[in-house]
Amino acid sequence: MRFEYVEPATIQEAVSSLIKYDGKGKVIAGGTDLLVQMRQKTIKPEYVIDIGYIPNLDYITYHRKLGLRIGALTTIRSLELSDELRRRYPVISHAAGCLGSVAVRNQGTLGGNLCNAAPSAETAPPLIGLSARAKIVGSEGERVVLLEDFFAGPGTTVLQTGELVVEVQVPDPSPTTRGVYLKHAIRGSIDLAIVGVAVITDFDPKKEVCKDFSLDCVCIWETVFPSTFELKI
């Protein structure tokens, strides 16, 4: 397969390239999804736009008022090993550790995992359950979209021509918020999830009751992604 390799140095250069090669270019970050699709010839881009060298897109920061901020180029392995996530958002860290092999997690990025929009994406259910948002940059500026509204179908997102996800934002959870991610796969974490479920709860310690409950599930057999619903108590 022949294609032209493009290596933008800034976000704006990447946006310009996406606009210039409208419909003919694909963004690559870690490449764990895109390269497989290209080898299988399910997609045949004329241009591959590598955003992996754009600075300042690999970070995990937390602020009590702003919540969690994760750069799009942050690796899945970084999510898995982050002390900040393990302490404040352990369900994200745990879900990241369920994605593929260590080699894949070292290479794959959060932005790539979400923008690939595969129904088996491990990071999507817990982030949706935590009311995460995607920060998107395009030629007309920035916009922020709830992650539950970001996915338009299997392999499809709401990204428009020239738009790029640069950050994932997660609100500060309540001290009584708890979450768990469960994955069912044939051979364990190395395989794609047949079903992935994240349960996020918020308890009232005084009344000893659950006051908020969210269950987000994805399944590779579903025709609409993500297949989610919430129960409010």
Higher per-residue confidence, 171 vs 120:
171
Asked if 45 contacts 17 with a C-beta cutoff of 8 angstroms, the reply is no
Query: Is residue 114 included in any domain, yes or no?
Result: yes
- The letter for the amino acid at 201 is T
Q: What is the CATH number of the domain that holds 217?
A: 3.30.465.10
Query: Is residue 23 included in any domain, yes or no?
Result: no
pLDDT in tens, 109-126: 999 999 999 888 899 999
Asked if 134 contacts 144 with a C-beta cutoff of 8 angstroms, the reply is yes
Query: Is residue 4 included in any domain, yes or no?
Result: no
Asked if 233 contacts 210 with a C-beta cutoff of 8 angstroms, the reply is yes
What's the predicted TM-score (pTM) here? 0.86
Asked if 205 contacts 233 with a C-beta cutoff of 8 angstroms, the reply is no
Q: Is the pLDDT of residue 228 over 90?
A: no
Segment 35-58 shows an average pLDDT of 93
Query: Is residue 7 included in any domain, yes or no?
Result: no
Q: pLDDT tier at 64 (50, 70, 90 boundaries)? A: confident
Query: Which residue segment(s) compose the domain that 73 sits in?
Result: 55-231
Quickly list DSSP for the chain: ---EEE--SSHHHHHHHHHHTTTTEEEESS-TTHHHHHHTTS---SEEEE-TT-TT---EEEETTTEEEEETT-BHHHHHH-HHHHHH-HHHHHHHHTSS-HHHHHH-BHHHHHHTT-TT-SSHHHHHHTT-EEEEEETTEEEEEEHHHHEEETTEESPPTT-EEEEEEEPPPPTTEEEEEEEE-TTGGGSPPSEEEEEEEEEETTTTEEEEEEEEEEETT-SSSSEEEEE--
Query: Is residue 15 included in any domain, yes or no?
Result: no
Segment 57-61 shows an average pLDDT of 97
Q: pLDDT tier at 223 (50, 70, 90 boundaries)? A: very low
Q: pLDDT tier at 231 (50, 70, 90 boundaries)? A: very low
The pLDDT value recorded for residue 181 is 92
Residue 180 to residue 193: CA distance in whole angstroms: 15
pLDDT in tens, 80-93: 999 999 999 999 99
Query: Is residue 30 included in any domain, yes or no?
Result: no
Q: Which among 80, 79, 77 is positioned nearest to 69, based on CA atoms?
A: 79
Query: Is residue 116 included in any domain, yes or no?
Result: yes
Residue 98 to residue 188: CA distance in whole angstroms: 8
Q: Is the pLDDT of residue 227 over 60?
A: no
The number of distinct structural domains making up the chain is 1
Query: Is residue 9 included in any domain, yes or no?
Result: no
